[in-house]
Amino acid sequence: MVRQGSGQTPGPGKIPPDSSFSPADGAAGPVRARYTTGEITILADEAIRAANSSLNEIAAVQPEQRTISNTLIRFEKTMGDFTDRTAPLTLMAYVYPDRAIADEGSLAEEKAGTFSIEVFTRRDLYDAIRGQVPGTPEELRLYTNTIRLFERNGLALPDDKVSLVRDWKSNLARMETRFSSNLNNDNSSLEYRADELEGVPREALATLAKTKNGTYLVTTKYPDYYAVMKNANRSETRKRMLYAFVNRQAGENTKLLEDAIMVRQQIAHELGYKTWADYKTDGRMAKSQENVVNFLAELKEPLKTRIITELAGLLEIKRTIEPGANDIRPWDILYLQELQRRQQYALDDEIVRQYFPLDIVTVGMFNQYSGLFGVDFIEEKVVKVWAEGVRLYRVVNQSNGRTQACIYLDLFPREGKYGHLMTSGLIGGRMENGSYSIPVTAIVGNFRAPNNGIPSLLSHDDVVGFFHEFGHTLHNSLTTAPYASLSGYNVEWDFIETPSQAFENWAWEPDVLDSLSGHYTDHSKKIPPELRNRLIRTRDMDTGVVYGRQLMIATEDMEFHTTKGPVNVTGISERLYQEIMGIPPIEGGHEPATIGHFMGGYDAGYYSYLWSNVYALNIYERFRKDGLSNQTTGRDYKRWILEPGNMQDGSVLLRGFLGNEPGIGPFYKHLGITRGINASNPVDHEK
């Protein structure tokens, strides 16, 4: 998942392009990481004042004196500066250990979001920029996208309508921030006796807190959640865990989401769109919500057929431990899949973990892409970070030795921290004063933390997720786009997941798995070939359930945002769960309240995971054909996919890299779907 800042470019604290960024001159790091109470609020307010001052000067330029340079280009720089100053502040809402300071980060995020809406609903700025004549293709691209942003915020409407849109969007931004903050602050936990956790690996139990009575406290963070759902032998234990997980912040977040959907309907209507989904897909690769709905509909029956087959297999396994069982419940699925891995593939997740210590995986992943893209990854040992365990790496260009980007890794759970995996841009790439800035990106995750001398050990699912987020990170790190608002992963939303999903495929290749592995007690011991091959064979084991779940969430997202009037998000979610997964959901759950994507930029956009995977698998097919480490292909990928940002449409970039239009074939093959559609590309549904 990508978390985007409120603007896009480097300001205070950036590293000069030729800096070696040694501990002697860079101990503070590329962004500020430590704050005292009140500082984030002060810094956010200062950033807003500085941006407003510059924007007011742009608006004040007399019409006869306006040029591209003193309107559009200065506007771009101002907003880039603003984002570089505020994005590190808003990240603290998701990661800072001190709750009071994290709350300031949430408030800063809300202020930044509101400010951005105010900027793009200012008619004086719109009038100052509109009508200027770009002098280069790059300026034309920037001009077109900037004007489009203003007009998507209502600037083509009369002033009274613009005011309405501004108020609604500001209110929406506040609701979205509150929704995310609620999930970040959620500390839900369950108390279990030792016998209730029978089957949970001792390595996982060792990481749990205990009460004075000797019972275990199990949080709803991913490491704890999956340890219970995959391993706890007692059905009731898993049921309680799932119930708690899908009810995190259910009371307030359900209302926030439903209220937000109503506000989105009002905004879309005022802007001349039938639905919010029409508004959000306009300008994306999908082009319209009808194309998305058709794409999802094409997948529904084939995936349902596969899900039925997979659940039937799980039911047979369930009958071996519960004779006479005649159904599968939601809290059974992960547990039975883990049993299936053990019984049919002789795989034990805890044994697999032993071969994937986080440090070894990190180095192996870096090495995989170092030669491919001509960069080195160097850890900075002496640097200030916001929490223990956070690491900082420089991305160094091999050809000239210059620091090209910086990457923070914050990968262990802690109280109040964002609960999933995400990538967050902190400093954007852009040309400034004749040199290129140094993008800074953070990967935030929740892998099992080191404990009692045992390092962080990753499941293979963790490895795949790490590769996914690293794809986002390289997209942001290796950009060469001249403007911050168009650099890195600031691309069409249904293209944004393409590099990340392409990179997931590397984590299934035998040679790559060998390079990533090393037993935690002896790093020279790679994962045994026979174990590795059994692991690879599980790739298609639960494709129906995995992609069926993505289809379910994408479908409910589109239904939320194409319905007119009040929306019962829980009711829609429960109906689609039954319809697509083929079994009833857990009673009393409120899962939409726990899905941050719906209020984190993926509203009417969750389909992008499936949509982008079509492109990702086409990309991977070329690498498979040319060689996963083929440096010529790597250079082409860097040139066509990672570097350009949004300087060209995603469709143009894909054709440039592939040499032809992407086809649906690799995607259907991956899903095990044999029937096709009359299109070479998802967008062709509109024909």
Cβ–Cβ < 8 Å for 488, 424: no
List, for residues 60-87, the tens digit of each pLDDT value. Answer: 999 999 999 999 999 999 999 999 999 9
Condensed to tens digits (0 to 9), the pLDDT of residues 283-336 reads: 999 999 999 999 999 999 999 999 999 999 999 999 999 999 999 999 999 999
User: Phi-psi category of 453—alpha, beta or left, where left has phi over 0 and alpha has psi -120 to 50?
Assistant: left
| pLDDT at 97 (0 to 100) | 96
Q: Write down the pLDDT at residue 4.
A: 60
What is residue 22's predicted lDDT score, i.e. its pLDDT? Answer: 36
pLDDT in tens, 448-475: 999 999 999 999 999 999 999 999 999 9
pLDDT for residue 26 is more than 60 = no
Q: Which domains does the chain have, with CATH numbers?
A: 189-246 (no CATH), 289-345+542-600+613-686 (1.10.1370.10), 353-505+519-529 (3.40.390.10)
Confirm whether 46 is a catalytic residue: no
pLDDT tier for residue 6 given thresholds of 50, 70 and 90: very low
Alpha helices (runs of H) in 211-332, residue ranges in sequence order: 222-231, 235-245, 250-270, 276-281, 289-321
Residue 673, pLDDT score: 82
Distance CA 469, CA 479 (A): 16
- pLDDT of residue 206 exceeding 80, the answer is yes
442 DSSP β-pair partners:
408, 424
Which residues does 613 contact at the CB level (< 8 Å), separation at least 6? Answer: 497, 501, 667, 670
> pLDDT class for 682, splitting at 50, 70, 90?
low
Lowest mean pLDDT among 24-38, 141-155, 372-386, 532-546: 24-38
Contact criterion met (CB below 8 Å) for 371 and 534: no
Residue 87: how many CB atoms within 10 A of its CB?
A: 28
CB 481 within 8 A of CB 645: yes
Tokens of 603: 């509203």
Q: Are 428 and 484 a contacting pair, CB within 8 Å?
A: yes
Instruction: Specify the pTM.
Output: 0.91
Is the pLDDT score of 684 beyond 80? no
Catalytic: which of 76, 104, 469, 591?
Answer: 469
Residue type, 311: L
- β-pairing, 189-192 vs 216-219, is antiparallel
**Amino acid identity at 608:** S
Confidence at 14, pLDDT banded by 50, 70, 90: very low
